[in-house]
Every structure is written in C-alpha cells, then in structure tokens.
Amino acid sequence: MAYDPELALRIRDTFRSLATQDITEKKMFGGLAFLYRGKMTVGIIKDELVVRVMADKMPTVLDQPHTREMDFTKKPMKEFVFVAPQGFEQEQQLLKWIDLGMEHARSKAG
C-alpha cells in the first residue's frame, strides 16, 4: 500500500464538506496527491500527510509538533512538509492542513 486509503477518504470528505471545486487526484511521490486547478494542496505517502506550504509560513509550520521538512529525495524540498499521523488525528487538525495547502495552490493557480 503506497498510501493510507482511510486518510484519502477523510481528505475527500473534507473537500466535499467545503464544497471545494476543481479538485483532482494524481499519483505522485509514490502516493496520492490532491490538486486544486492542477496545483498540489496536500497528499499522502504511506501514513503521512504531505502539505504544500507558503514559503513565508514554513518556519512557523515546522515549529509545530509532528511536522518535518519533506525529505523525499534525501534533501529538503522547498515548501513541502510531512505531518505524522498524530498531527491530523482530529478533523479540525486535518482541516487546518488542507487550508494551508489550498492557500498555496490558490496562490499558484491564479
């Protein structure tokens, strides 16, 4: 299993509850990514959440528990973080991460 299917369902449900349009799914990084108008918002690799974050928010985000720079290629990837499962156990936590990912995607989608 390349990604947690239960987490994928939670993310889909959250996007539906927000009535967010223009969301597509794509296999990326060996997992699953959710894109807004072709720009990545959040994704899943194994049981971790991947979030695309605005550059100016990275220091604050990385100070939060259960987060670390995405080091998929063995070096940090700009504007990406991994969030361990403890960081999105509650729906409100997951919503916060999706909001951050959407903020980034909207800034790039124009």
- CA distances from residue 27 to 1, 8, 41, 65, 79 in whole angstroms, order as listed: 13, 12, 13, 27, 19
Q: How far apart are CA 51 and CA 14, in angstroms?
A: 15
Q: What is the DSSP letter of 54?
A: -
Q: pLDDT (tens digit, 9 = 90+) per residue, 20-29?
A: 889 999 999 8
CATH of the domain at 59: 3.90.1150.30
pLDDT band at 1 (very low <50, low <70, confident <90, very high): low
66 and 86 Cβ atoms separated by less than 8 Å: yes
For residues 106-110, give the mean pLDDT: 86
Give the per-residue pLDDT at 39. Answer: 96
Give the residue numbers spanning the domain of 90.
5-109
Number of domains into which the chain is organized: 1
Question: What would the pLDDT profile of 40-98 be if each residue is shown by its tens digit?
Answer: 999 999 999 999 999 999 999 999 999 999 987 788 889 999 999 999 999 999 999 99
> What's the predicted TM-score (pTM) here?
0.94
Q: Is residue 3 very low, low, confident or very high in pLDDT (cuts 50, 70, 90)?
A: very high
Alpha-carbon gap, residue 37 to 105, rounded angstroms: 8
